[in-house]
Amino acid sequence: MFGINGSEFIILAVLAIVILGPEKLPEYTRAFTDWLRVMRDKAEGAKAQFKEETGTDFDEVDWRKYDPRQYDPRRIIRDALREPAGGSSTPASRAAQATGISAEDVAKRLIDFGFHAPTLSFPVAGTLMVEPTESETKAELDRFITAMMAIRDEITEVAEGRIEAAQSPLRHAPHTVEDLVVDDWDRPYSRQQGCFPPGAFRVDKYWPPVGRVDNVHGDRNLICTCPPVESYAEAAE
C-alpha cells in the first residue's frame, strides 16, 4: 500500500510506537483507519460521478493523452526543427501547400473580425500563437471561434476551386475604410463578406490604416537608414 514494502512498514510502525507511545498508538491507528475509509468512499464517489457525467469508467481513461508535458513548447520547437525542409507534416503546412493560404493570411484576416493579429514568429515561425488571457469573456471566445470557422470556410472555397487564393478575402485582408467606400469594387466576393465578416462589430469596429504590408521585409533585408559618414564629420566641426 502507498508503495511501501514490508520492511519499510515495520520501520514506520516502530517509529510510530517510539514517537506516539504505546498508550496513544491504538487511538491514532483507529483515527488513521477511519480517515482511510473516508478517503476511499470519496474516491469511489468521485469515480461514480465521473462515469455518470462522461459515460466512461474512470479506470478506462487513457490519461496519457492528457499529459500536459506533450504540449511543452520546447518539445514542439524541437520536433519542428527536426522535420525535413519542405516536408512538414503538420495540417497547417499541408493546407498551405494545397491552397496557397498561409498562416499570415489567417492572421491578417482576423483583423477584419476585430481581433489583433496573432504572433507568427514565436514559438514556431509560420504558425499562429493564440493565447487568450483570463480577462477574456466567454462571448469573446465564442466570437473568436466563429471567426476561425468562417475563415476555415473561406479556405475551403479556395481548396475547392470556387475562388482563387489571390482573389480571396484572405489574401486581400485586412480591409480598410477605403475598401468599404470605394466606388469600383472589382473583387469576386461581396463588400459585406470582406469588411463585415461573421462576428465582426458594426459599431466601434477597428479599421486598420493600411491594407496588406510585407511585415517581415525589414527582418529579411538589410536596410540602412543611417546618414552618410561625412555628415558626422561635419557635425563634429
Residue at which a domain ends, from 62, 81, 110? 62
50 and 93 both lie in a single domain: no
Identify the pLDDT of residue 93. 60
Four-point Cα dihedral 56, 61, 67, 71, nearest 10: -60
109 and 45 both lie in a single domain: no
Task: Tell me the pTM.
Answer: 0.55
101 and 164 both lie in a single domain: yes
Residues 45 and 37 sit within 8 Å (Cβ to Cβ) = no
Residue 14 is assigned to a structural domain of this protein: yes
118 and 178 both lie in a single domain: yes
206 and 132 both lie in a single domain: yes
Q: To which H or E segment does residue 25 belong?
A: helix 25-54
171 and 103 both lie in a single domain: yes
> For residues 94 and 129, what is the distance between their CA atoms, to the nearest angstrom?
18
155 and 202 both lie in a single domain: yes
110 and 171 both lie in a single domain: yes
Can you give the residue range of the structural domain that contains 33? 6-62
| pLDDT of the chain, 237 residues: tens digit per residue | 555 566 776 677 667 666 766 677 677 778 878 888 888 888 888 878 877 777 777 777 777 776 766 666 666 666 655 555 554 455 556 666 778 888 889 999 999 999 988 888 777 777 788 888 888 888 888 989 999 999 999 999 998 899 999 999 999 999 999 988 888 888 999 999 999 998 888 888 889 888 887 777 767 777 777 777 777 777 666
Residue 203 is assigned to a structural domain of this protein: yes
Residue 174 is assigned to a structural domain of this protein: yes
156 and 195 both lie in a single domain: yes
Residue 196 sits in a domain whose CATH number is 3.90.1150
Residue 81 is assigned to a structural domain of this protein: no
Identify the pLDDT of residue 47. 79
> For residues 220 and 58, what is the distance between their CA atoms, to the nearest angstrom?
52
Identify the pLDDT of residue 75. 65
51 and 93 both lie in a single domain: no
207 and 103 both lie in a single domain: yes
Identify the pLDDT of residue 5. 62
54 and 94 both lie in a single domain: no
Map residue 81 onto helix, strand or coil: helix
Residue 227 is assigned to a structural domain of this protein: no
Residue 68 is assigned to a structural domain of this protein: no
Identify the pLDDT of residue 9. 63
Residue 115 is assigned to a structural domain of this protein: yes
**How many separate domains does the chain show?**
2
